[in-house]
Amino acid sequence: MKPLPKRLEDFLSTLENLDRSERIEMLIEVADQFRPVPSRIAQRPYAAEHRVPGCESEAYVWSEASGEGALTFHFAVENPQGISAMALAEILRQSLSNAPLEEVAAVPADVVYRIFGNELSMGKSLGLMGMVNMIRSEARQHLQAAGSTP
Amino acid sequence: MTKSISERGYTRADVLVSTDWVEEHLKDPKIRIAESNEDPLLYSSNHIPGAVEIDWTRDLNDPVRRDYLGRSAFDKLMRRMGATRETTIVLYGDKNNWWATYAFWVLQLFGHTNAKIMDGGRLKWIKENRPVSREVPKYQASNYQAPERDDIRFRAFRDQTLKHLEQKLPMIDVRSPEEYRGERLHMPDYPNEGALRGGHIPGAVSIPWGRAVNQEDGTFKDAAELRKIYMEENKLRPEDDVIAYCRIGERSSHTWFVLRYLLGFHKVRNYDGSWTEWGNLVNVPVENPSAEARDEAAA
């Protein structure tokens, strides 16, 4: 099993030392930092192939090659009430952009429970895990195109 | 334009309040506003000033058994909110009040009839640029004393649902059409709400819960539109004995609210075991059009 990308593991370690209300506070602070995809990458209406399946917060994901064998990730969250989706988007953007793609491709989707706790409803989990799966898929496709198998 | 609540022809219009009404009652000590969401970050990100949070997992469920909270835990919740038996609890939340109606249903199990839903829920409040706050209010604890939980009137269990099926009484499956048809069972890797079998309880009609809501503003449809869906299209009658179910009983509490309060159905129960129980039970009847079609094609 591949290790998690270091910045993600560091973030999770910080989060896991907080009590529930501190964790929620921290996640809201992260969500406040969220900025949607820059217009040079995509503009509304966003293409359907970038939409996260099953995400009711209408999240979209893009990747951009950023140097040798690395990707920068971008997100849009169209539902203004999609606070958890915005928090996750910002966590993934900050911790997985430019991380080793083999590690990004191996991030388990259920990492969302380590971030948000086990109390997530099925509907909410479906959307958030879908965001992680889209990132994994982007990393995998990039690796395959480059000729290495994740 | 959406009609005012009193003009919509509901049997019990008094259980719904508008966003205007709530804003006028923000400082009313007889009112306690409570937000209940699916998204665990929403309440803390901001909420109606003075509103408390009712968290559907931590506050409404028993932490050990699959059941709702008992009387003493309910007392504790209401005392923490500073509510008495006379306090009017106004509930609102995300997802078109899906979780708010779930909390409302639990309140009714303890006979707290002074409860209302804010029409349009959280999204309507935010879209109307009404005041919000991040401050978590603290209320002086009350001495709330609930009666024992009554599971008879509004709740159906597995055996009652099976009997209902045998008697061919009306049942409503309020999940998505894909879930009803057995095409979507549950999400992979999701441990808590899965089921081993897909499909629906034989005889149940499919009326997805969201059909009761105006998509543009999250308000409830008027009584004439609701009657068209439930009574004309699906032949349900207010005098029927109806059971509604979904996956864990949350979406069906929304339909329960619509049938009981907005359309005045006399006997509606929520089977909260729902598909996560039925779809895992051994030797109960299941109708699965997708699997049956597949089997026929293979034969």
> How high is the pLDDT of residue B187?
45
Smallest Cα distance from A66 to chain B, Å? 32
Nearest to A107 by CA among A64, A79, A74, A140: A140
> How high is the pLDDT of residue B50?
98
> How high is the pLDDT of residue B1?
65
Q: Cβ contact (<8 Å) for B38 and A119?
A: no
Q: Is the peptide bond before A45 cis (omega within 30 degrees of 0)?
A: yes
Q: Which residue bears the tokens 């649902």?
A: B161
Q: Please state the rounded mean pLDDT for residues B131-155.
A: 97
> Which SS3 state, helix, strand or coil, does residue B122 take?
helix
- Residue in chain A closest to B250 (alpha carbons) equals A121
Q: Cβ contact (<8 Å) for B42 and A25?
A: no
Question: Residue B32: in which H helix or E strand, if any?
Answer: strand B31-35
Fold of B158-298: Oxidized Rhodanese; domain 1 (3.40.250)
Residue B220 has pLDDT above 50, yes or no: yes
Nearest to B115 by CA among B124, B127, B123, B106: B106
pLDDT band at B297 (very low <50, low <70, confident <90, very high): confident
- The rounded distance, in Å, linking the Cα atoms of B121 and B47 is 11
Q: Please state the rounded mean pLDDT for residues B126-140.
A: 97
Q: Please state the rounded mean pLDDT for residues B211-236.
A: 97
Query: Which among B246, B262, B263, B286 is annotated as catalytic?
Result: B246
**What digits encode the pLDDT tens for the residues B267-293?**
999 999 999 999 999 999 999 988 776
ipTM of this complex: 0.85
Domains of chain A: 6-145 (3.90.1010.10)
Can B246 be counted among the known catalytic residues?
yes
Q: Does A134 touch chain B (CB under 8 A)?
A: no
Domain boundaries, chain B: 5-127, 158-298
Q: Do domains B5-127 and B158-298 have the same CATH topology?
A: yes
- Residue in chain A closest to B99 (alpha carbons) equals A121
> Which SS3 state, helix, strand or coil, does residue A77 take?
strand
pLDDT averaged over every residue in chain B: 94
Fold of B5-127: Oxidized Rhodanese; domain 1 (3.40.250)
Is residue B3 within 8 Å of residue B221, measured between CB atoms?
Answer: no
Please tell me the pTM assigned to this model.
0.91
Task: Give me the tens of pLDDT residue by residue for chain A, a chain 150 residues long.
Answer: 789 999 999 999 999 999 999 999 999 999 999 999 999 999 999 999 999 988 889 999 999 998 778 999 999 999 988 999 999 999 999 999 999 999 999 999 999 999 999 888 878 888 999 999 999 999 999 999 888 655
Preferred mutation among B39, B43, B174, B274 to probe A, highest tally of A CBs within 10 A: B39
Name the token pair of A87.
């928090």
- Residue in chain B closest to A25 (alpha carbons) equals B44
Q: Does A127 touch chain B (CB under 8 A)?
A: no
Region of residue B264 (phi > 0: left; psi between -120 and 50: alpha; otherwise: beta): left
- The rounded distance, in Å, linking the Cα atoms of A136 and B160 is 45
Q: Please state the rounded mean pLDDT for residues B224-252.
A: 97
CA angle at B59 for the pair B52 and B77, rounded to the nearest 5°: 65
Sheet holding B31-35, edge to edge: B16-17, B115-118, B88-92, B31-35, B52-53
- Give me the percent of chain B exceeding a pLDDT of 90: 87
